[in-house]
Amino acid sequence: MKIKNFIIFLVVLSLGFSINHSQLLSNEKYITGEDGVIRMYVNVMGHVKNPGTHLVYDNIDFMTALSMAGGYLDGANLKKIKVYSEDGSKRQINLENILNSKNKINSSISSIIKLKPHDTIYIEQTTSSRLFVSSNLPALILSIINLAITLENIQD
C-alpha cells in the first residue's frame, strides 16, 4: 500500500512540473499567443503608476506602452525619459517637447520611438518632487513658521 501511495505521489509531482507555464516571463523576443497575435515584453520603471514588465503587442507605440503602465505620475521628469535596449543601447526622450509641439503625438512619437522586445522605459522623478513629496521638508518648514508665529505672539 505504501508503494502505491508513493507512486501516486511521484505521478502527481511530475504532473505539477510538466504544467504549461506559458504565463511566466520568457527570454524569447516574441511570443505568439493562441490567438495568433505576436506579443513582446516591455519593462516600464520609475515614476509611473504600475511599474513592471508588461506583455504588449508587437510594434506598440511608446504612449500606449506608457499608458499600459498606468501613465506617468505627477512630478515625473518628462524631459529625460530613458529607453534602454537589450543590446545595451540607450535613448533619451524629451516627452515634454513632444507633447507641447504643434505636431501631434501619433505620428511623431511612433516614428521617433520604436520599442523592441525587452526594452526598458525609465522615468525619473524630478528633484523638486522628490523633496516635497518623499520627505518631511514641507512639514518642517510649516513647523518652523508655526514656531516663529507662536514666539512672536508670546513676546507681544
Task: Provide, rounded to the nearest whole percent, the portion of the chain with pLDDT above 90.
Answer: 32
Q: How many helices (H) and strands (E) does the chain have?
A: 6, 6
18 vs 30: CA distance, rounded Å: 22
pLDDT digits (tens, 9 = 90+) for 42-89: 999 999 999 999 999 888 888 889 999 999 999 899 999 999 998 999
**Band of residue 134 on the pLDDT scale cut at 50, 70, 90:** low
- Mean pLDDT over the full length of the chain: 79
Q: Is the pLDDT of residue 23 over 70?
A: no
Where is pLDDT greater, at 150 or 5?
150
Least confident residue range of 27-36, 46-55, 67-76, 97-106: 97-106
Q: How confident is the model at residue 127 (pLDDT cuts 50, 70, 90)?
A: confident
CA 16-19-24 angle, 5° bins = 115
Nearest residue to 89 via CA among 112, 124, 63, 116? 116
In this prediction, residue 19 carries a pLDDT of: 45
What's the gap between Cα 73 and its chain centre? Answer: 11
